[in-house]
Amino acid sequence: MFVKNLVNIHEGEEMVAMYTSLPIADAGIYTFIAKKRKDGTYQWVHYVQKFTGAKESMYNGHVKTMEQVNMVLSIINNNLANAFGAAAEMKAADITYTPKVRIAALAV
């Protein structure tokens, strides 16, 4: 699955962004994750995690700069705000990296 591959940080790669929404009734928790790859490009994924644990509505892509990562995040946040209100916008999450557990926290 793409999310699992994205979350894994390989040698020479770096997690650069993780944003989550507050839980949204009847929807779930929206998440945006980005990493910088060895070649200097950025890979991102955006999905909603349902309260059942299932990940749905997954979108992903590659961009060349961190500015473009921020642009993608801004567009997604604007869409969330339009659909669910300003409180639905994703905020920076706590990223804790350890060799065994790639992302230890999804806190908002």
* 31 in a structural domain: yes
By CB atoms closer than 10 A (0-12, 13-18, 19+), residue 34 is buried
pTM of the complete model beyond 0.85: no
Evaluate if residue 8 carries a pLDDT over 80: no
Among 22-31, 35-44, 63-72, 88-97, name the one with the lowest average pLDDT.
88-97
2/105: higher pLDDT: 2
Q: pLDDT above 70 covers what percent of the chain?
A: 81
- Distance of alpha carbon 6 from alpha carbon 88, whole angstroms: 24
CATH number for the domain spanning 7: value is: 3.10.450
Give the number of domains in the chain: 1
User: Which amino acid, residue 53?
Assistant: G
Give domain status of residue 100, yes or no.
Answer: no
Which pLDDT score is estimated for 99? 42
Position 7 pLDDT exceeds 90:
no
Q: Which domain holds residue 44?
A: 2-92
Q: Is the pLDDT of residue 90 over 50?
A: yes
Under DSSP, is residue 12 helix (H, G, I), strand (E, B) or coil? coil
Has residue 105 got a pLDDT over 60?
A: no
pLDDT at 79 over 80: yes
